[in-house]
Amino acid sequence: MRPRPLNDDERIAWVQLARTENVGPVAFAGLLARFGSAGRALEALPELARRAGRARPLRAPSPAEAQAELAAGERAGARLVAVCEPDYPARLAAVDPPPPLLWVRGDAALLNRPAVAVVGARIASAAGQRFARGLAADLGREGFVVVSGLARGVDGAAHQGALPTGTVAVLAGGVDDVYPPEHAELYDRIAETGCIVSENEPGRRAQARDFPRRNRIISGLSQGVIVVEAELRSGSLITARLAAEQGREVFAVPGSPLEPRARGTNDLIRQGAVLCEGLGDVLAALQPALIAREPDRRWSDLAADLPDDDIDQAAERVAALLSPTPSSVDELARLSGLVPPTVFAALVELSLVGRASLLPGGLASSG
């Protein structure tokens, strides 16, 4: 997709399609590639849903509702950037699949500078917060933007340490959703000198399902992810896993085996994460050119060459092969006797009615 700005009508259609029920980033990319524009994809959705067996229409915002989202973003001091536009962060655009839309408030130029994420426990120790704050300041002096999630504990400390040099806060709710409330002043300072981003519409309050998606953006914007403190079931470990899937370097700060907040980070080191005791460990790992490991088949590869032929029968053949265990498009193509782009088109239609789940890395499972 060659970078180009959207006109006003296209922007409204992109918002409508991106906010349509059951249309996630993978389905969005597939529909856009298949029909050539968000407007034509919206026109085709009722028939696609009917063919895939949905009894009621998919819920899609009206043009007025999409315009209301754009107006709310402007009132919040933010602007909407689409993945096809030149200002969209290059590293995030390379994630498979990238969020189709990103609300940005503040200095968008920070999103394309070298960046490292610093994340960790919300209920962090004083030592952990001190380490995160100091490491963030060191990273900033070396020219890195520090990315985090504005949460309590390690996230807040990392933002504070990087305020003088540049920090990016990725929110799970809308770009105006200040949470926790005690970070209101920190939010305002980041908006003034740093950058705040969210893929969700302004006014939205974060829900549990939004945090893994938020974490995926944190790692997607960064060249590496540093986990300072994390228990074994911490959300920070999700960020670390997503970073590894995206080909980013994963760092973990070691801790005492007697400290529960060190169990997650020590386990990351056991699994191959880079041990991080300070700036030197980060620089040593990131100075070589980072070459992301590409999956065997990417959704973006498939979206580039979608078929125009009838896929009614293909959808049923693909649906019969799906299970809760994810399968690759190549495997589904081999078992069904279909070419991968046809399998992808079938999966997009099945996902619209909840019969398939499209997962990162070109994988799909039953819905």
| Per-residue pLDDT tens digits for 2-27 | 688 999 999 999 999 999 999 999 99
Edge-to-edge strand ranges of the sheet holding 356-359: 327-328, 363-366, 356-359
Look at residue 295 and give its three-state secondary structure.
Answer: coil
CA distances from 309 to 30, 173, 339 (A): 15, 39, 12
* Domains of the chain by start residue, with CATH: 106-286 (3.40.50.450), 299-366 (1.10.10.10)
Q: What pTM was estimated for this model as a whole?
A: 0.84
Instruction: Flag whether pLDDT at 1 surpasses 80.
Output: no
Sorted by sequence, the CB contacts under 8 Å of residue 252 that are 6+ apart come out as 226, 227, 240, 265, 266, 268, 269, 273, 274, 275, 276
Tell me how far apart the terminal alpha carbons of the chain are, to the nearest angstrom. 29
CA dihedral 56, 34, 301, 285 (to 10 degrees): -60
Tell me what percent of the residues of the chain surpass a pLDDT of 90.
79
The number of beta carbons lying within 10 Å of the beta carbon of residue 171 is 26
Q: What is the pLDDT of residue 66?
A: 98
The DSSP element (H or E) to which 130 belongs, if any, is helix 126-141
Only one residue has tokens 């002096």, namely 141
Instruction: Flag whether pLDDT at 300 surpasses 80.
Output: no
**Among 115, 117, 88, 87, residue whose Cα is nearest residue 100:** 88
**264 pLDDT tier (thresholds 50, 70, 90):** very high
Q: CB of 132 within 8 A of CB of 126? A: no
Burial of 279 (0-12, 13-18, 19+ CB in 10 A): middle
pLDDT per position as a tens digit, 351-364 = 999 999 998 778 89
Edge-to-edge strand ranges of the sheet holding 145-148: 79-82, 101-106, 195-198, 167-170, 145-148, 115-119, 224-227, 249-252, 274-275
Q: Which residues of 133-145 are buried (b: 16+ CB within 10 A; e: fewer)?
A: bebbbbbbeeebb
Look at residue 350 and give its three-state secondary structure.
Answer: helix
